[in-house]
Amino acid sequence: MNKVRLNGSTYLLPARWSDIRDRAQFVDICRALLEFETGLTSFDEFRLSLTLAILRLKPEKLHASEALHENLFRIAELLNFPYTITEHPDGSRTAAITIRLEQNLLPEAGGVTGYRYVTDAAGIVDTDLTAAQYVEALAILPHVRAALSAGRDADPALDALAQTLYPGASGLSRDEKVAIFYNYRGIMDTIAADPDYDLIFNTQPAKGAPSPVGPQSSILALSKAGFGNIEQIRALDVYTYLAALVQQTVDSIRALAGSGMKTGEVADRLRLDPEQVAPYMQN
Secondary structure class of 206 (helix, strand, coil): coil
Q: Specify the long-range contacts of residues 49-52, CB closer than 8 Å, at least 24 apart.
A: 50/76, 50/79, 50/82, 51/75, 51/76, 51/79, 52/28
Tell me the pLDDT of the chain (283 aa) as tens digits. Answer: 778 877 777 888 999 999 998 999 999 999 999 999 999 999 999 999 999 999 998 876 666 677 778 888 889 999 999 999 999 999 999 999 999 999 999 999 999 999 999 999 999 999 999 999 999 999 999 999 999 988 889 999 999 999 999 999 999 999 999 999 999 999 999 999 999 999 999 988 655 444 434 566 889 989 998 999 999 999 999 999 999 999 999 999 999 999 999 999 999 999 999 999 999 997 5
Measured CA to CA, the distance from residue 155 to residue 135 in angstroms comes to 20
Pair 261, 253: CB distance under 8 Å: no
> Can you give the residue ranges of every domain in the chain?
2-82, 108-193, 209-280
Q: Cα separations (Å) of 191 from 9, 101, 134, 186, 226?
A: 37, 9, 11, 9, 25
Model pTM score: 0.91
Pair 204, 273: CB distance under 8 Å: yes
